[in-house]
């Protein structure tokens, strides 16, 4: 049953919490052991909180999940984890992580609390409101960055927050594109999809992709980037961002699997290799 609870917490989704480490990396403090430890602690706590939300989602969506060809195999939907156990585990995990978050840094704890409250509202009601659901998801990524900043007492640039929000919107749109395809194939999905169309999502993805690339590119040429990185060669990282965004769009259009594009993203060799190369280049520019 413990394995089932852990599986319901979606460990493969915890890669998203790497955004908590962004302030440390982009402040050039990745070699500061104390700040790095605090950042990793915040990322772990964020993983526990987000995991508790996923667990609660499985409880709330159990009937819908049982009608889905893939989601019906989830521990709660399949009965491997009883609903009362899942509900209790979700509450205990969330409360423990919040308490440790406030101990680590009061503002980091406040961010974790805000994220939990926002996602509870999302799970119960707001996920059914088209476009607002995407804004909430994107706000969650911004909160991740803020949590990392408050935990390490690092000032967070507006550029980092803007790029994070735009990228998260783009990823959310990609997921909606995939879900619309599933709905067209007759698979039951979220209610908010009735307010989305393939054309609108495609247009929004194109606009957001351009906005994300533009914001990131402008940042790499900014005085702030040159000051933090200590080099004028930050624009060398732009091609990796362009490739990652276009590769994700390709993944959202694949019809050979019913897996979510965000799940496919973290297992796609080209995408993962691109992210690793981008990360190594960023670290190299900062520390070499």
Q: What's the pLDDT at 139?
A: 95
- For residue range 234-255, list pLDDT tens digits in order: 999 999 999 999 999 888 876 6
Please indicate, yes or no, whether residues 5 and 89 belong to a single structural domain of this protein: yes
Neighbour tally for 60: CB within 10 Å: 16
Measure CA 124 to chain center: 19
Q: Which residues contact 286 (CB under 8 A, 6 or more apart)?
A: 25, 28, 30, 228, 229, 230
Instruction: Name the residue with higher pLDDT: 197 or 263.
Output: 197
Nearest to 222 by CA among 231, 210, 209, 212: 231
Please indicate, yes or no, whether residues 144 and 185 belong to a single structural domain of this protein: no
Please indicate, yes or no, whether residues 135 and 187 belong to a single structural domain of this protein: no
Please indicate, yes or no, whether residues 164 and 47 belong to a single structural domain of this protein: no
- For residue range 187-221, list pLDDT tens digits in order: 555 667 778 888 889 899 999 999 999 999 999 99
Q: What's the pLDDT at 102?
A: 96
C-alpha distance from residue 4 to each of 14, 43, 68, 218 (Å) = 16, 22, 18, 45
Instruction: Name the residue with higher pLDDT: 21 or 62.
Output: 21
Q: Can you read off the two tokens belonging to residue 238?
A: 């732009």
Domain count, the chain: 2
Nearest to 146 by CA among 135, 136, 154, 138: 154
> Nearest 5°: phi and psi at 50?
-65, -35
Q: Name which of 17-21, 70-74, 100-104, 162-166 the model is least confident about.
A: 70-74
Please indicate, yes or no, whether residues 231 and 117 belong to a single structural domain of this protein: no
Instruction: Name the residue with higher pLDDT: 62 or 116.
Output: 116
Please indicate, yes or no, whether residues 58 and 180 belong to a single structural domain of this protein: no
**DSSP H helical ranges for 27-82:** 33-60, 62-66, 75-78
* Measured CA angle at 65 (ends 63, 68), to 5 deg: 120
Position 256 pLDDT exceeds 70: no
- For residue range 53-93, list pLDDT tens digits in order: 999 888 888 778 777 777 877 888 777 788 888 889 999 99
Nearest to 75 by CA among 2, 4, 3: 4
Please indicate, yes or no, whether residues 19 and 147 belong to a single structural domain of this protein: yes
* Measured CA angle at 59 (ends 91, 7), to 5 deg: 80
Distance CA 56, CA 250 (A): 31
pLDDT band (50, 70, 90) for residue 168: very high
Please indicate, yes or no, whether residues 141 and 192 belong to a single structural domain of this protein: no
Q: What's the pLDDT at 276?
A: 93
Nearest to 100 by CA among 142, 143, 38: 38
Please indicate, yes or no, whether residues 231 and 220 belong to a single structural domain of this protein: yes
Report yes or no: 173 and 134 within 8 Å, Cβ to Cβ. Answer: yes
Position 186 pLDDT exceeds 60: no
Q: Which residues contact 174 (CB under 8 A, 6 or more apart)?
A: 205, 248, 249, 251, 252, 261, 262
Q: What is the span of the domain harbouring residue 199?
A: 157-288
Please indicate, yes or no, whether residues 7 and 143 belong to a single structural domain of this protein: yes
Specify the CATH number for the domain of residue 19: 1.10.357.140
Q: At what angle do helices 33-60 and 83-104 cross, to 10 degrees?
A: 160
Please indicate, yes or no, whether residues 6 and 111 belong to a single structural domain of this protein: yes
pLDDT band (50, 70, 90) for residue 31: confident
Q: What's the pLDDT at 255?
A: 62
Q: What's the pLDDT at 183?
A: 64
Position 184 pLDDT exceeds 70: no
Distance CA 276, CA 169 (A): 22
pTM for the predicted model, two decimal places: 0.87
Please indicate, yes or no, whether residues 185 and 215 belong to a single structural domain of this protein: yes
Instruction: Name the residue with higher pLDDT: 103 or 268.
Output: 103
> Nearest 5°: phi and psi at 60?
-70, -30
């Amino acid at each position: 049953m413990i394995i089932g609870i852990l599986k319901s917490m979606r460990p493969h989704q915890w890669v998203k919490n790497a955004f908590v480490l962004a302030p440390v990396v982009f402040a050039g403090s990745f070699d500061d052991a104390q700040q790095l430890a605090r950042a990793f602690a915040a990322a772990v706590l964020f993983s526990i909180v987000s995991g508790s939300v996923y667990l609660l989602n499985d409880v709330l969506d159990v009937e819908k999940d049982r009608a889905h060809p893939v989601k019906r195999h989830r521990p709660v939907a399949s009965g491997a984890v009883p609903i009362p156990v899942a509900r209790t585990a979700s509450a205990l995990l969330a409360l423990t992580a919040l308490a440790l978050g406030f101990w680590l840094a009061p503002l980091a704890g406040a961010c974790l609390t805000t994220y939990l409250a926002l996602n509870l509202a999302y799970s119960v009601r707001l996920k059914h409101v088209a476009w607002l659901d995407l804004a909430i998801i994107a706000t969650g990524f911004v909160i991740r960055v803020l949590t990392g900043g408050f935990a390490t007492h690092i000032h967070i640039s507006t550029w980092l927050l803007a790029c994070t929000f735009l990228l998260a919107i783009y990823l959310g749109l990609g997921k909606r594109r995939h879900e619309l395809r599933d709905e067209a194939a007759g698979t039951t999905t979220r209610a908010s999809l009735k307010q989305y169309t393939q054309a609108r999502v495609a247009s929004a993805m194109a606009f957001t992709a351009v906005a994300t690339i533009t914001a990131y590119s402008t940042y790499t040429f900014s005085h702030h980037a040159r000051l933090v990185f200590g080099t004028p060669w930050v624009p060398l990282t732009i091609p990796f961002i362009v490739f990652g965004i276009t590769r994700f769009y390709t993944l959202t259009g694949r019809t050979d699997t019913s897996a979510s594009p965000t799940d496919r993203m973290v297992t796609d060799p080209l995408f993962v290799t691109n992210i690793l190369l981008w990360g190594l280049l960023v670290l190299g520019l900062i520390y070499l």
